[in-house]
Chain A
Amino acid sequence: MHGYAIMNAIHGASAEALKLEQGSLYPALHRMEEAGWIEGEWVESEAGKLVRGYAVTKKGKKALEEAEDKWARVSLAVNRVLEGV
């Protein structure tokens, strides 16, 4: 999936709640690429244009799982605190 498509996916999945400055996606993508979580490759888009597509690596999946776990724990903790208030 290439940058623009990723941005649209985030946009759609968050029901337009997360509306980011689109250019800031790229430093984030490149940082993840640098960490080995994703792999970038120049591919042809559906529109026939050359774009850089990214795919999650095994290391990335693992990191995602860890991040999800962490997020779950943090959000659970936050929810509990809020419920208790």
Chain B
Amino acid sequence: MGLWKRIQNALMPGRLDRELQQELESHREEMCADGVDERWLGQELKHREESRDIKTVVWLDCLRADVVFGLRQLGRHKLGTATAVLSLALGIGAAAATLQLIKAGFWRVMPVEKPEQLHFLRFATMNIDGKPREQDAFRTPEVKLMAAGVAGDAEMAMVGFADRQDVHFGEASRVERVSRQYVSAGFFELMGLRPEMGRLFRKEEEQPAADHRIAVIRGEYWLRRFGGEPRVIGKKIFHDGEPHVVVGVVEGDFTGTSVGNYTDLYLPMPTERPKGAQPAGRLMLRLRDGVQPAAMEQRLKALFPQVRGELSKQWAATAPKSYLEAYLNVQLKMLPAMHGMSNFHRDYRTPLTVLGLTTLLLLGLACAGVANLLLAQSTGRVREMGIRMAIGAGRLRLMQLLFVESGLLGLAGASLGLVFTLWAGPMLLRGMNPADNPVRMALATDWRLPLVGWVLALLTTVACGMLAAWRVSRVDPATAIRGEVSGKRRLGALHALLGVQIAFCVVVCFVAVLMLTTLRNLENQRLGFAVEQVLLVKTYLPQGKLEWSRWQQALERVKAAPGVQKVGLSGWPLQTGSANIGDIEIAGRRLGLGGPFTFFAAPGWLDAMAVELLEGRDFCAGGENAVVLVSEQVSREFFAGKSPIGQTVKWDGQMSRIIGVVRDLLMRDLKEETRSILYFPFGAMSQGVFSIRMNGAVREADLAARLRGMFTKEFPQLQVGLIRSQKSLIDAQLVGDRLLAAVAGFFAAVALVLAGLGIYGVFSLVVEQRRKEIAIRMAVSAGWWATARIVLRDGLGAAAVGLLGGLAGVFGAEAMMRSLVFGIVGVESTVVLPTAGVVLVAALGGLGWPLTRALRTDPALVLRSE
């Protein structure tokens, strides 16, 4: 008989058992028929088992039997099994999904030629608040001079900032939102990218005289939008009202240089603009073969301040000192660009680290929970093991049995975890940004990541199985069968695990309380202006400025549109994350960085945005010059709280008289501190944002379409940009916090359930093992409190040890999350007490049932059965 047949017999022994049985049975029948004494057949079971061992692979047969028994055993403890499997699945799935996200965001190498040669530059400077910050935006003249400085050793290209833009293909009414990025014409050559069709931008197209109205689209966008239609080449794509001819499609695997975003449309970046600020973007450079990155970094570090010194000569004499210092005092560094370059790394490093660590904590918690359950179950099965040993099972055989059971648990948890990973990865990705600006990343199905979690879970369960098995192997059958196993000594490991579990739970709950409190603080943040029912319509002129009178006409037309209640006009919207400052002189102080924000508002904007006017008046409806409104912070900061009406403010050398004071508002983002704001009258401008208060009856999309049509028809020189609601700008800021709060809240709920179940498991066992003692105590008339104390003392003791252990972790978690929380200072009692509270409630919840059982013990019944 071959090995295969024996393996088959081991795995599916039914047929073999039947045949062996039948063969002996027919022998017995013939013996009986011949009148031979049946006893001559001998020990039938022994012979059959001997034959069975010959016809199967013995260890495999044992393993199968253990698996079957293990499954049956797990089926018997449905609650425990389900908890263990689900918690492991959740722990593994969440950890693997987070790792998958971290991998896609931080470790994915761009599919370009020799990516290790690519680098990008970043420099430390001051932001408009006068605080240190890192920046990676370079202007074209800077890049031109720097490229000339390192010519021969490195090549440079500029990559603009990816942005969501509305474009159309000839029909102005059918706009679609795409991710657009300006790149210098040499970008594709620098990256070593090839066209899938048509051609890409050429380096010679960088010349100022070149026709820049061409475009390249991404392969996947071409397939999605045009179904891979070859005639897309030559099509005109309208962006900023200008037609751009599609000249090529870039190869499909390349999703762009910005992590978290897929660029659909590439436009050539002009090297210089005739007027105004020069184009800005990130600077990508490719080192030539043999050039050492460290040496190149040193050269660029020396070169950049020189370049800036050269370029600042024209305006250095007139600029405020703080501006000039911030401009010249720059610390450059060169970073590898093989993983892409974008703010994703900066914005998501901490949240993803916190998420990653929380998931690992959850995995640890799940493992500790499973360990607890297995240990508790094995302790409860000491008598069964004693019986098994008494009828001849070896210690190794028993150990294998427990190993198999724990392995099965690990396998089931890990397998379900893989399914959870597949679901959770894209779900987390969707939650990271608002729906109209999704984070897009290639979440590669890399089985190494879930495998790590899987191996971890398996190792945990097997390790726990080993501990349980080792304990079982030390059982003395005689004492075990009598049920005389000392409970207290053997429960030490369970108590320790329980403490670990509660400590993990405290940290996970603390993270959740921090995130939920932060979200609540942000949602309750007083903004100082209307958010609901406000639609923002961005309009701009591709070139030049529009006279105030025309803006005023546009205001009137918008106001007349059905569904519009009030309308205001400003230079840019509130709460977009950016703000402007200027060369300001106020109360005798000349301010640059850290000075007041400047803002342009047309008459009526205050009313439309419900910004409260505290003192003085709004701008005249007809328009006026040399006047300014200030926020109340200006009074506090510059006029010692006295009324500033009638005082003057100098901006770029022009004097303006303060005519009113308005309530403070949050201009830039939800987390900013109150800043001084100067509101200047909206005049001849190249762009304006209409802030429209809608009446409840109108739908946002209908009004947007109506206004777009109106502008195209009546103000053709004005391009209509993005139309968004003010609320969407707020929501966009909250999306990360909401995701973190939701995930952390969910994890905390799971952690609490696991901790509660852990306590329940252990103390059910305590009550079971000490029921004789409880019965005796009750029989000698000890009060209910004495009985309850047996359970409560140990239970609350373990909870207290866990809480103390967890509190140490809380300080670590708080330090790590400091940049993510808002409105909470340090480890406050407002976050620690709720955390301790919920964990205690979970602990008491877990103790409830064992306690009830202990109190309901009938001494007579227990003592009689003993």
Check: A50 CB closer than 8 A to any chain B CB: yes
Please tell me which one of the listed residues A22, A34, A36, A42 contacts residue B27 in the complex, with CB atoms under 8 A apart: A22
User: Known interface pairs A23-B47, A30-B51. Does A52 touch B42 (Cβ–Cβ under 8 Å)?
Assistant: no
Question: Shortest Cβ distance from B5 into chain A, in angstroms?
Answer: 10
Please tell me which one of the listed residues A23, A31, A50 contacts residue B24 in the complex, with CB atoms under 8 A apart: A23
User: Known interface pairs A27-B51, A30-B51. Does A4 touch B42 (Cβ–Cβ under 8 Å)?
Assistant: no
User: Cα distance A50–B55 when bound, in Å?
Assistant: 21
User: Cα distance A41–B47 when bound, in Å?
Assistant: 20
Please tell me which one of the listed residues A21, A27, A50 contacts residue B26 in the complex, with CB atoms under 8 A apart: A50
Most chain A CB within 10 A, of B24, B27, B46, is at B27
The reply to whether A34 and B30 form a contact with Cβ atoms under 8 Å apart is no
User: Cα distance A33–B9 when bound, in Å?
Assistant: 15
User: Cα distance A27–B43 when bound, in Å?
Assistant: 12
The reply to whether B29 and A22 form a contact with Cβ atoms under 8 Å apart is no
Check: B232 CB closer than 8 A to any chain A CB: no
The reply to whether B55 and A3 form a contact with Cβ atoms under 8 Å apart is no
The reply to whether B29 and A50 form a contact with Cβ atoms under 8 Å apart is no
Check: B44 CB closer than 8 A to any chain A CB: yes
Interface of B is mostly: helix
Check: A26 CB closer than 8 A to any chain B CB: yes
Check: A49 CB closer than 8 A to any chain B CB: yes
Please tell me which one of the listed residues B19, B22, B26, B43 contacts residue A4 in the complex, with CB atoms under 8 A apart: B26
Residues of B within 8 Å of A51, CB to CB, are 23, 26
The reply to whether A4 and B1 form a contact with Cβ atoms under 8 Å apart is no
Q: A18-61 toward B: CB 8 Å interface, digit per residue (1/0)? A: 00011110110011011010000010010101111000000000
Residues of A within 8 Å of B19, CB to CB, are 42, 52
User: Cα distance A39–B128 when bound, in Å?
Assistant: 93
The reply to whether B47 and A24 form a contact with Cβ atoms under 8 Å apart is yes
Residues of A within 8 Å of B26, CB to CB, are 2-4, 45, 49-52
The reply to whether A3 and B47 form a contact with Cβ atoms under 8 Å apart is no
The reply to whether A21 and B40 form a contact with Cβ atoms under 8 Å apart is yes
Interface of A is mostly: helix
Residues from 32 to 66 in B contacting A, C-beta threshold 8 Å = 33, 40-44, 46-48, 50-51, 54-55
Check: B31 CB closer than 8 A to any chain A CB: yes
User: Cα distance A50–B40 when bound, in Å?
Assistant: 22
Question: Shortest Cβ distance from A85 into chain B, in angstroms?
Answer: 37
Question: Shortest Cβ distance from A19 into chain B, in angstroms?
Answer: 8
Return the chain B residue nearest A33 by Cβ. Answer: B1
Can you list 27 A-B contacts with CB-CB less than 8 angstroms, sorted by A residue number?
A2-B26, A3-B23, A3-B27, A7-B27, A21-B40, A21-B41, A22-B31, A22-B40, A23-B42, A24-B42, A24-B47, A26-B20, A26-B27, A26-B48, A27-B50, A27-B51, A27-B54, A30-B55, A34-B1, A34-B55, A45-B26, A47-B30, A49-B26, A49-B29, A50-B22, A50-B26, A52-B19
The chain B residues found within 8 Å of chain A, CB to CB, are 1, 19-20, 22-24, 26-27, 29-31, 33, 40-44, 46-48, 50-51, 54-55
The chain A residues found within 8 Å of chain B, CB to CB, are 2-4, 7, 21-24, 26-27, 30-31, 33-34, 36, 42, 45, 47, 49-52
Which 9 pairs across A and B sit closest by C-beta, in order of nearness?
Answer: A21-B42, A23-B47, A23-B42, A27-B50, A4-B30, A30-B51, A23-B41, A30-B54, A27-B51
